[in-house]
Every structure is written in structure tokens, then in C-alpha cells.
Structure 1
Amino acid sequence: MNTKRLSSTLEEALSKQMNVELYQSHTYLAYGIWASDNGYAGISNFLFRHSQEEREHAIKFMQYILNRGGKPTVTALASAPGDPQNLTDCFNKVFQHEVENTEKIYRLVELAFDEKDWATWNFLQWFVKEQIEEETLAMDLIDKLKIAGGDKASDESLFTLDKTLGETPDDADLARDATSENP
């Protein structure tokens, strides 16, 4: 008996998004390394934690595909993008990555709607809400840097921003805590 509850099209699309989330994790890891290399320990820590959160998103996709009788496909990741030129460039790139990811999530929602796969449509609503939070977080980073003085910020302002972001609470779920009920 075939127990697969996903179309091949949705299975492939969800697998692709799982890999997009892994690439996002990869990107934030690279940006965190850049920040650390430039002396921004707090911003680096913030980006490393965000890398972990993106990995958790990939795990959610993986678990969902498995729970629906499909088999996720892990593909090779592209190289992380080059280093940002400065903090403004870094935060702008973070925002751009999130906007692009939102568009990909919306296409998945549309696909699930078109196929009348209400379980998948419902599953994706968590990601729609999450992307609102992700874009807001990225916009807040840009705003905080502007308030600090942008590219012309004083060392004291950058120190304070770095410290603040390093102390930002970590809301990401850890992979080791994931279950089939709470991927």
C-alpha cells in the first residue's frame, strides 16, 4: 500500500526548500565568521545563533516530508557568499536573504493551495509567520545600525551595538530537542 501523502511535485519542492534553509544556515555561519574576524564578538554570536535557527527550519521541512511518507533529498550546498564589506552591507545582505526566502515560502504555499494539499498548506503557515519575524529582525538590525551612526558610527556606538546583539535572547529551538510532534 502506498502511504505517501505528498505529491512528487510537493515532495521535491519541500526538499528544495529544506536545502535553501541549510544554505541560509551556511550563509549566516559565514557572516558570523566574518563578524568574529572583524572583532564583533556579539554580532558574531548573534549570527551563529541565527545560523542554528535556520538549520532548525531545515529540520522542520525534513521531518514534515518524512511524516507525510516522502523522502527528503539533501543536495550539495553552494559556497557561502563573499564577505560583507562592512556592517551595513552585512545587515543589508541578511535582509535580502530573508526577503528571497519569504518569496520561496510564498511559492510553496501557492503550490500547496493549487494542489489542494491542505496539510502542507497548514504546515507552511508556520513559515509564513516566521518569515514576518525574520524580515522584521533584519529590518531592526538595519535600523539599529543607522541609529548607531551607520558606516560612520563611533567605536563606542559599535561597541554598544555589538554588546546588545550578543546579549539578545536566543529563541531558536535546538535540533536535539526536536520530536515528530514538535519538529
Structure 2
Amino acid sequence: MSKTGNLSKFHSMLQEQVRHEFTASQQYLALAVWFDGQDLPQLAKHFYRQALEERNHAMMIVQYLLDNDIAPAIPGVDNVKNDFSEAADLVSLALQQEKNVTEEIINLAKIARDEDDYKGEQFMQWFLKEQVEEVAQMTTLLNVVRRAGGNLFDVENYLARESVGDDGDDDPLAPRAAGGTL
């Protein structure tokens, strides 16, 4: 609830996006644990890092709300999938998740624009750029998994060699995260 009155639609939807980001974090954690259980350390590391990144995104939104005198509510998360049989299924799920988040972020940017919330619209720009990178990286990873034809050691070598997903860790334009990024 806003400390200063009712929430705009944009701010209400931002509160909802915090839940989506935490849910994405938990889903990535489930994927990481599955890969860890399959003795695939590079894939596990990649998805552990993705889980932290999604957590950090949630906390960036929390910080934005705090900075705008809106008391954020920290939500529970939706159920996550834990049962998988093939690596391609996990990466396909991750890619679909990133595409869904992209649509959510686009919608948030539209709502901010429709409400003439210029600060909100500007805040969403970094997330839009981030989602382009996330979808592209996950699409590439899914292609690599499929091309490996079941040989996940090739995927492990690819991840070790290419350091996929390391780009966003030190982005100086990234919004501040409440409590700092992990």
C-alpha cells in the first residue's frame, strides 16, 4: 500500500511483478538443483546464477517502490515444476519463462506510458533491454542442448567456454536492488 494514498495501476502491477520475479527465481533454483543432481555442474551453476539474477530483479523493483514512497509487499511465489526427464525440457521451460516475463515487462512499460508515469516508464527500459538479452541467451542455450543430441558434456563444455549469462552482473545502468545484489 502506498504511504501517500492509493496505488496507480502501474504500481499495483509492479507489486505483482515482484511475485513473478521471485517465482522465476524459485523455478530457476529447481532447474539448478535438477542439473546438480545429474552431476552437471556447469548447467547447475548457470541456473543457480539465473535464480540469483531473478531475485535481484525482484529486489530492484522493491527498491524502486521504496524510493517512490510506496510500501512494497513481499509476496509468496507460485508453484514451480520440479519433475523433469530431459535437459531440453528444462531449458525449454526456462525459455518460455523468459518470454512470459518479457511480455509482463512490455505490459508494465505500456501501463506506465498510458498513465503518464515517466519515471516508471524510464525504470522499465533497463528491464526491457535485459529481457532481450535473457531470451537470446536462453534461445542459444536451448539450441546448443538440442544440437548436443543428448551429450550434455558438450553443453557443459560450451557453458564453461562461453560463460553464458555473465554479462549483466556488473551493469552500471542496472537499477539498485534493495539490500544490494547477491
TM-score by length of 1: 0.84
Residue 22 of structure 1: aligned partner: 22
Give 1:70's aligned residue: 70
| Alpha-carbon shift at residue 82 of structure 1 (Å) | 2.9
Contact 2:61/2:177 (8 A) holds in 1: no
User: Aligned-residue CA RMSD in angstroms?
Assistant: 2.4
Q: What does 1:34-183 align with in structure 2 at a 5 Å threshold?
A: 34-149=34-149, 153-154=150-151, 158-166=152-160, 168=163, 170-173=166-169, 178=176
Displacement after TM superposition at 1:45 (Å): 0.7
Tell me which amino acid in the other structure corresponds to 1:88. Answer: A
Distance 1:118 1:96, change over 3 A: same
The CA deviation string for residues 14-38 of structure 1, in whole angstroms up to 9 with x for no partner, is 1110111111100000000011111
Measured after TM superposition, the shift of residue 179 of structure 1 is 6.3
Conserved in 2, the CA contact under 8 Å of 1:5 and 1:68? no
1:84 CA displacement: 2.4
| Stretches of structure 2 lacking an aligned partner (at least 5 in a row) | 171-175
Take 2:114 and 2:156, find their aligned partners in 1: how far apart are those partners?
A: 45
- State the Cα deviation string for residues 84-130 of structure 1 (Å, max 9, x = none): 22111011101100111111111111110110001100100111111
**1-structure distance, mates of 2:78, 2:63:** 23
State the one-letter code of the partner of 1:93. L
Q: Equivalent pairs: percent with the same residue?
A: 28
Contact 2:62 2:177 in 1 (8 A): no
Contact 1:25 1:54 (C-alpha < 8 Å) held by counterparts: yes
- TM-score after normalising by structure 2: 0.85
Q: Which moved more, 1:27-36 or 1:158-167?
A: 158-167
1: CA distance, partners of 2:42 / 2:160: 3
User: Aligned residue pairs: how many?
Assistant: 172
The answer (yes or no) to whether the contact 1:105–1:124 under 8 Å persists in 2 is yes
Q: CA deviation at 1:133?
A: 0.5
* Structure 1 segments unaligned to the other structure (5+ residues): none
